């Protein structure tokens, strides 16, 4: 039985899909106006691991992660750059897919775009208006009447008096209450034609929150088994989704709500104004991409996580230890033996709210066994269990010899120095051979002599 922490109930509960054996999971995705940042990476990798484990556990999973392709920031970027909206969104969608591939994030089963679901959004708005949960404002917008929905605040656990409008909740003159939020935005003459749709409320476009209410219902039905997203979405976005969907249709929007923990950079919130803002591609230029994924996975998805140079270096060192074990002993290729003790503990950890830190501890125990016993079966377990987390699937040398982030020596120069060392050893000039080894180590390269006169090298971490 898989248990999952439910943000709504503030407790772990068994995952019991509405349809036996089939999990329908919706995760709020990216607004595509810029490159994805490390906060996005945590969400992408975190829910990738969730989907992988649910499938490994024998469940059928329909994983939907949306794309917001109409938004104030997208319009602003298009106007600033003189491009069409679809050109902006197409560019950054392609970039997002590249980043996902770099981090070994599998594609969701469906990736709906907001602009493909305008009809569904208008249907929900019409239902809300008929129930007097939505009203037309003097400025042409259609707003949600928050205080008419009695359950508002149940996800964040705060009363309306405690809550503060999030940065993406516009406070306009036409609102009856500052907590009301926009469902349909009236078109402005200065906005591109691409951002305007005909509706019963006049020419305009959807608000941000209504998008996910429509897309999740259109593709997965109600209620969802799991609804997930980043920590900043709990309020107002997810709170507003609940108000819209449950206000329109009754029942529950989702049985389980999952939220990743916050990502900090050097113990501070990531912010462009602080100069500590990193995109995924910037991080993967400085650190090996699998180490970035490993850094995310080795922390529990709900825990705060600090992106700092020493933490990334530690992740690279730790992952190197696992790859060194696989380099020493060829895995047997038989897949996971779920009766073996490490696999049993791995499964128990993952079934307990996706406890990846404990699951990864089993990988290190297996690596120790590989190093001690030179066991192909232990190496096979290590390799196969790592695959479930999206790890350890490169040839070991590809990871161990990746010198990104290290300036100076090149692989060709390393090969030349290894050849010179071999010549020195053949001439019994061991002092020269030792000097070359020390020179390479100073350059961040560790040598390992193997039987038959073969010398391997790897990046010296730590």
Half-sphere exposure of 329 (CA within 13 A, CB side): 24
Query: Please, are residues 449 and 462 in contact by the beta-carbon 8 Å criterion?
Result: no
Cα gap 447→14, rounded to integer Å:
50
Q: Per the annotation, does 237 bind a ligand?
A: yes
Query: Please, are residues 137 and 150 in contact by the beta-carbon 8 Å criterion?
Result: no
Q: Per the annotation, does 272 bind a ligand?
A: yes
Q: Per the annotation, does 28 bind a ligand?
A: yes
Residues in a beta bridge with 25: 63, 226
Q: Which residues, 6 or more positions from 165, have their beta carbon under 8 angstroms from its beta carbon?
A: 171, 178, 179, 181, 236
- Is 349 strand, coil or helix? helix
- Write down the H helix ranges in 250-391: 280-286, 289-297, 309-328, 341-351, 356-373, 376-388
Q: Which of 359, 292, 350 is nearest to 104 (CA)?
A: 292
Neighbouring C-beta atoms of residue 407, cutoff 10 Å: 6
Cα gap 48→61, rounded to integer Å:
12
Query: And the tokens for 240?
Result: 């507003």
Q: Per the annotation, does 36 bind a ligand?
A: no
Cα gap 46→302, rounded to integer Å:
9
Binding site as annotated, residues for ATP: 272
Binding site as annotated, residues for Zn(2+): 28, 212, 237, 241
Binding site as annotated, residues: 28, 212, 237, 241, 272
């Amino acid at each position: 039985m898989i248990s999952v922490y439910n943000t709504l109930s503030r407790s772990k509960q068994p995952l019991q899909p509405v349809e036996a054996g089939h999990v329908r999971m919706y995760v709020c995705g990216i607004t595509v106006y810029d490159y994805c940042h490390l906060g996005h990476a945590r969400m992408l990798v975190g829910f990738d691991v969730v989907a992988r484990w649910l499938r490994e556990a024998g469940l059928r999973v329909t994983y939907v992660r949306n794309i917001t392709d109409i938004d104030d920031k997208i319009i602003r970027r298009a106007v600033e750059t003189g491009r069409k909206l679809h050109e902006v969104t197409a560019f950054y969608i392609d970039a997002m897919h590249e980043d996902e591939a770099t981090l070994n994030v599998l594609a969701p089963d469906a990736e709906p775009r907001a602009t493909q679901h305008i009809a569904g959004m208008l249907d929900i708005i019409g239902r809300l208006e008929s129930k007097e949960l939505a009203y037309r404002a003097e400025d042409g917008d259609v707003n949600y009447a928050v205080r008419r929905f009695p359950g508002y605040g149940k996800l964040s656990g705060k009363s309306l008096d405690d809550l503060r409008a999030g940065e993406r909740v516009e406070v306009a003159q036409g609102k009856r209450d500052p907590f009301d939020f926009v469902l349909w935005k009236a078109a402005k003459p200065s906005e591109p034609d691409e951002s305007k749709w005909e509706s019963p409320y006049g020419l305009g476009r959807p608000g941000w929150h209504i998008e996910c209410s429509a897309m999740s219902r259109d593709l997965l039905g109600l209620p969802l088994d799991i609804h997930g997203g980043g920590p900043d979405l709990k309020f107002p976005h997810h709170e507003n989704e609940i108000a819209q969907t449950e206000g329109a249709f009754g029942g529950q929007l989702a049985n389980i709500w999952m939220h990743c923990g916050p990502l900090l950079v050097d113990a501070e919130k990531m912010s462009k104004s602080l100069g500590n803002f990193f995109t995924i591609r910037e991080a993967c230029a400085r650190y090996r991409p699998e180490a970035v994924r490993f850094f995310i996975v080795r922390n529990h998805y709900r825990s705060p996580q600090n992106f700092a140079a020493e933490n990334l270096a530690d992740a690279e060192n730790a992952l190197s230890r696992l790859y060194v074990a696989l380099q020493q002993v060829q895995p047997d290729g038989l897949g996971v033996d779920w009766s073996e003790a490490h696999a049993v503990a791995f499964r128990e950890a993952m079934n307990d709210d996706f406890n990846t830190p404990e699951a990864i501890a089993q990988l290190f125990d297996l690596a120790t066994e590989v190093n001690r016993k030179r066991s192909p079966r232990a190496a096979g377990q290590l390799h196969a269990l790592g695959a479930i987390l999206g790890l350890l699937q490169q040839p070991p040398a590809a990871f161990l010899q990746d010198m990104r982030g290290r300036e100076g020596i090149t692989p060709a120069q390393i090969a030349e120095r290894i050849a010179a060392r071999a010549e020195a050893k053949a001439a019994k000039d061991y002092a020269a051979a030792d000097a070359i080894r020390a020179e390479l180590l100073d350059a961040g390269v560790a040598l390992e002599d193997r039987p038959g006169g073969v010398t391997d090298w790897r990046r010296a971490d730590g």
